Every structure is written in structure tokens, then in C-alpha cells.
């Protein structure tokens, strides 16, 4: 059980994650909850179930908070008709107050980009698109199993801008099969030429239960991958993108509010097949009662047809140790680190619970400790897994 602590400003904010599980084709590196549909996915029925799922989530009193961000992820949400997204977001607005500056992100596949659909998303209230480009190399797109080519990726940017989107994220990957350092540089340069407001630039890894894990391709070795990462950081900085998280780079004031909410250990609701959520429940005096994580039924068919009270496939209350590890796993990813007060505000635990670990990490050169701020050093960012493991 989590001890009582005062309710701080961080604890008052809330985010909403909405999962759309269908894809045109499963990518060989993807370990997300995505499924290829035999026919047209039942989007109308799915929106109805999503809103019923949200109603069920809102039975918790501490879920009744304004939303700072909404993230529609997948899968491929850009398969959804504009009217389905409008009905979904209108349903959310009718149930919850939205912050005046709410960030509403929708993930889109360049291979499913459509001018009318993008315009409909914008009219429905989506104000940020995240395009899964991954690479602009024809050969590497084929190796990655993507359904688009470089021309379709560039066209998706044009369509998004024409629809009124002035906040775009592009996903890019490095350390691709048989990729050279020069190829990684050229690929990133091509992404930068598209002038997005935000770039998620991350290393390809072989995740369990993926096709690449079962039949591993030839990937760059650790030293070459590290050189690619360093090269990428330098290029992004010179292009005016500031790194604020391990793999996230943004122009001024264009960081992803939704992901920052995760990394700052904030509360969020999760609806949809396979969606996860985290909610802090409080006592009558505003103190901590428990922090509960939920996971929804991952199979889309079962999610659509299960009784509402059986949508959650897993519910668990975090222990003190869980809170410490999860907080570190998220907050230590941030380039600027975190404020001292954030730990107690989001976990309910006293600062003394992690102070010895922080002091030891600082002595080893992994952290900078200021009176009110904790920040990973460049060495700490390089050895982030080792740093986080100290909190286990």
C-alpha cells in the first residue's frame, strides 16, 4: 500500500490513450498489439465499444480530470474513416473536460495517407500527426516490411500540411539491416529535409515474438550502432532539434506532451484492445490510496464482444518497489531530468526512499544532483539501463 502524500500539480493532470489494433500488414520488427484484418475492420462497432470502455473507466472518481492530451495509436489509426474519429472525439469531449491547449495526436501510416481523411481528422480536432516513415531508403523500406515507398512518405507530408497540420512527428530508425554509417546519415538528412516539428529517432531492436526475432537479419554491430546514434544526435542538433528524451527531438515548444506525461509518471486512461492505463486513487483527504495499472483484452474480437466488466485482462496495484523502478525507468529517460518534488507527487513515497541510490549514482558520475533537480549526466545517458537497474 502506498503511503499518504499531498496531492501536487503533477497528480492533477490526466492523459488518454486510445488503441486501434488493425494494420494492413504486420511489420517484421513490430511487437505492438496489431492485427491484420481479413476484411474491413468494424470501426463503427469499435468506436461504440471504445466509448463504453471509457464510461467504465470514468467510474473511478479520480478519473474525472481534464485531459491534457489524447493519443490515438496502433496499429494503424489512419485506416479509420474521418467520421469514426469525429464520433470518437466528440464522445470523449461529452464525457471529459479538455484542457484549452489539449494535444490530440493520431498515428498515421504513409501508405494509408488520404487528403480527405487527413482533412476530416483535422476538422474532428486532431492537431498533431505522427507519421511512421522509418526510412526514406527504398531498399530499407522493403527490408522493414513497410507498405509505403519514399514518394508516398513525401506525399503524406504534403497532404498533412495541406490539411492544416502544423505539428508533425516523423518516426525514423537507424541500425537497419546491413545499413552503413553513410547510409544512416543520408537517411536522416532526407528526413530532416521534410522539416517536421518533431522527430522520434531510434535504433532498430529485435523484440521477442516478432518475425525479425525468429529470423534475425544482419544488423550493424554495437560499435557501429553507437556511431550512428552519435552521428544522429549531432545532425539533429545542428538542424535545430533539441533532444529532450532518449529518442525524442523537437523544435522549440514542440515536444510531445503526451509522451512527456508518461515519462513524468503521470496518470493516464487506456481504452481499446490491448491498451494500458495507470491511475492514482486517493483517499478523502487527497492522499495516496493506491496506484493501479490496467491492461485491456488484446484480441480485437474478444475486446469487441466481451462483457464490459471483463474488458480488463489484468489489474494490479503497484508496490513501493514497483513505483520506484517505474518512476526511474521513465524519468531517467529525460535529458533534462526531473524536479525533486515530482517523485513524491507521483508515487506518494518520501524522498528518502531513493536518496541513497541517487547519491551513489552521482558519486559514479551518472547523475547531476542539484538541490531541486536531478539530471542524468552524458555518461548516465549512455549507460541508462545500468542507471535504472540501480533502483530495482
Using 50, 70 and 90 to split pLDDT, how confident is the model at 9?
Answer: very low
Q: What is the per-residue pLDDT across 105-121, written as a single tens digit (0 to 9) for each?
A: 999 999 999 999 999 99
Instruction: Let me know: does 133 contact 153? Beta carbons within 8 Å.
Output: yes
DSSP state, residue 61: G
Using 50, 70 and 90 to split pLDDT, how confident is the model at 12?
Answer: confident
| Torsion sign across C-alpha atoms 206, 207, 208, 214 | negative
How far apart (Å, rounded) are the C-alpha atoms in residues 369 and 273? Answer: 41
Instruction: Let me know: does 112 contact 79? Beta carbons within 8 Å.
Output: yes
3-class DSSP state for residue 265? coil
How far apart (Å, rounded) are the C-alpha atoms in residues 349 and 391? Answer: 14
Cell output for 104: 490530440
How far apart (Å, rounded) are the C-alpha atoms in residues 173 and 134? Answer: 5
Q: CA angle at residue 261 from 231 to 109, to 5 degrees?
A: 60
Burial 321-341 (b: 16+ CB within 10 A, else e): eebbbbbbbbbbbbeebbebe
Instruction: Let me know: does 180 contact 228? Beta carbons within 8 Å.
Output: no
Q: Average model confidence (pLDDT) for the chain?
A: 94
pLDDT given for residue 284 in this prediction = 60
pLDDT for residue 6 is more than 60 = no
Instruction: Let me know: does 164 contact 125? Beta carbons within 8 Å.
Output: no
Any alpha helices (H) in 163-238, and if so which ranges? 181-192, 211-214, 222-238
Cell output for 343: 517523485
How far apart (Å, rounded) are the C-alpha atoms in residues 291 and 60? Answer: 12
Q: What is the per-residue pLDDT across 136-154, written as a single tens digit (0 to 9) for each?
A: 999 999 999 999 999 999 9
DSSP state, residue 150: H
The CA distances from residue 380 to 221, 236, 329, 368, in Å, are: 22, 20, 13, 9
pLDDT given for residue 251 in this prediction = 96
Q: What is the per-residue pLDDT across 34-59, written as a single tens digit (0 to 9) for each?
A: 999 878 999 999 999 999 999 999 99
pLDDT given for residue 286 in this prediction = 63
Cell output for 227: 556511431
Per the DSSP assignment, residues forming a β-bridge with 22 are 35
pLDDT given for residue 288 in this prediction = 75
pLDDT for residue 10 is more than 70 = no
User: What percentage of the chain has pLDDT greater than the value 90?
Assistant: 91
Q: What is the per-residue pLDDT across 281-306, written as a single tens digit (0 to 9) for each?
A: 877 666 778 999 999 999 999 999 99
pLDDT for residue 1 is more than 60 = no
Determine if residue 265 is left, alpha or beta; phi over 0 gives left, psi from -120 to 50 gives alpha, anything else beta: left
Fold assignment, 320-392: Arc Repressor Mutant, subunit A (1.10.10)
Q: What is the per-residue pLDDT across 238-269, written as a single tens digit (0 to 9) for each?
A: 999 999 999 999 999 999 999 999 999 999 99
| Cα dihedral 357, 10, 382, 293 in deg (nearest 10) | 80
The CA distances from residue 96 to 88, 196, 294, 295, in Å, are: 12, 30, 20, 21
3-class DSSP state for residue 107? strand
Helix, strand, coil percentages in the chain from 3-state DSSP, rounded to 5: 40, 25, 35
pLDDT for residue 325 is more than 90 = yes
Closest CA to 38 of 27, 50, 47, 25: 25
3-class DSSP state for residue 167? coil
Candidate from 44-53, 61-70, 281-290, 314-323 with smallest mean pLDDT: 281-290
Q: What is the per-residue pLDDT across 348-386, written as a single tens digit (0 to 9) for each?
A: 999 999 999 999 999 999 999 999 999 999 999 999 999
- Structural domain boundaries in the chain: 9-260, 320-392
Q: What is the per-residue pLDDT across 218-235, written as a single tens digit (0 to 9) for each?
A: 999 999 999 999 999 999
Residue 281 neighbours by CB under 8 Å, 6+ apart: 60, 62, 288, 289, 290, 291, 292
pLDDT for residue 210 is more than 90 = yes
Using 50, 70 and 90 to split pLDDT, how confident is the model at 5?
Answer: very low
pLDDT given for residue 282 in this prediction = 77
> Could you write out the DSSP letters of every residue in 121-147?
HHHHT--EEEEEEE---HHHHHHTT-S
Cell output for 290: 493506491
Using 50, 70 and 90 to split pLDDT, how confident is the model at 211?
Answer: very high
Answer whether CATH 1.10.10.10 is correct for domain 9-260.
no
Amino acid at each position: 500500500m502506498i503511503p499518504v502524500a499531498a496531492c501536487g500539480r503533477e497528480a492533477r493532470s490526466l492523459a488518454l490513450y486510445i488503441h486501434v489494433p488493425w494494420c494492413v500488414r504486420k511489420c517484421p520488427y513490430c511487437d505492438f498489439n496489431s492485427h491484420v484484418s481479413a476484411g474491413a475492420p468494424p470501426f463503427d462497432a469499435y468506436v461504440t465499444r471504445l466509448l463504453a470502455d471509457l464510461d467504465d473507466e470514468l467510474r473511478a472518481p479520480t478519473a474525472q480530470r481534464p485531459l491534457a492530451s489524447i493519443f490515438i495509436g496502433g496499429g494503424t489509426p489512419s485506416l479509420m474513416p474521418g467520421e469514426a474519429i469525429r464520433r470518437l472525439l466528440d464522445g470523449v469531449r461529452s464525457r471529459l473536460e479538455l484542457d484549452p491547449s489539449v494535444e490530440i495526436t493520431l498515428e498515421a501510416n504513409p501508405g494509408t495517407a488520404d487528403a480527405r481523411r487527413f482533412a476530416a481528422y483535422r476538422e474532428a480536432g486532431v492537431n498533431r500527426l505522427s507519421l511512421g516513415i522509418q526510412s526514406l531508403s527504398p531498399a530499407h523500406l522493403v527490408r522493414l516490411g513497410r507498405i509505403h515507398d519514399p514518394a508516398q512518405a513525401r506525399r503524406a507530408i504534403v497532404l498533412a500540411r495541406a490539411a492544416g497540420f502544423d505539428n508533425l512527428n516523423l518516426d525514423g530508425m537507424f541500425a537497419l539491416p546491413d545499413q552503413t554509417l553513410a547510409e544512416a546519415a543520408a537517411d536522416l538528412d532526407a528526413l530532416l529535409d521534410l522539416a517536421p516539428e518533431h522527430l522520434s529517432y531510434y535504433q532498430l531492436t529485435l523484440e521477442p515474438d516478432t518475425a525479425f526475432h525468429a529470423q534475425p537479419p544482419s544488423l550493424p554491430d554495437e560499435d557501429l550502432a553507437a556511431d550512428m546514434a552519435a552521428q544522429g544526435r549531432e545532425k539533429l542538433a545542428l538542424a535545430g532539434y533539441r533532444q529532450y528524451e532518449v529518442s525524442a527531438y523537437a523544435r522549440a515548444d514542440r515536444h510531445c506532451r503526451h509522451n512527456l506525461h508518461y515519462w513524468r509518471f503521470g496518470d493516464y486512461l487506456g481504452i481499446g484492445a490491448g491498451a494500458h492505463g495507470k491511475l492514482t486513487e486517493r483517499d478523502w483527504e487527497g492522499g495516496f490510496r493506491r496506484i493501479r495499472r490496467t491492461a485491456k483484452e488484446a484480441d480485437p474480437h474478444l475486446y469487441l464482444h466481451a462483457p464490459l466488466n471483463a474488458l480488463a485482462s489484468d489489474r494490479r496495484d503497484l508496490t513501493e518497489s514497483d513505483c520506484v523502478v517505474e518512476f526511474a525507468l521513465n524519468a531517467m529517460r529525460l535529458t533534462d531530468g526531473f524536479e525533486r518534488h515530482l517523485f513524491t507527487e507521483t508515487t506518494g513515497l518520501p524522498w528518502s526512499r531513493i536518496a541513497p541510490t541517487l547519491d551513489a549514482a552521482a558519486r559514479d558520475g551518472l547523475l547531476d544532483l542539484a538541490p531541486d533537480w536531478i539530471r542524468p549526466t552524458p555518461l548516465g545517458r549512455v549507460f541508462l539501463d545500468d542507471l535504472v537497474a540501480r533502483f530495482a
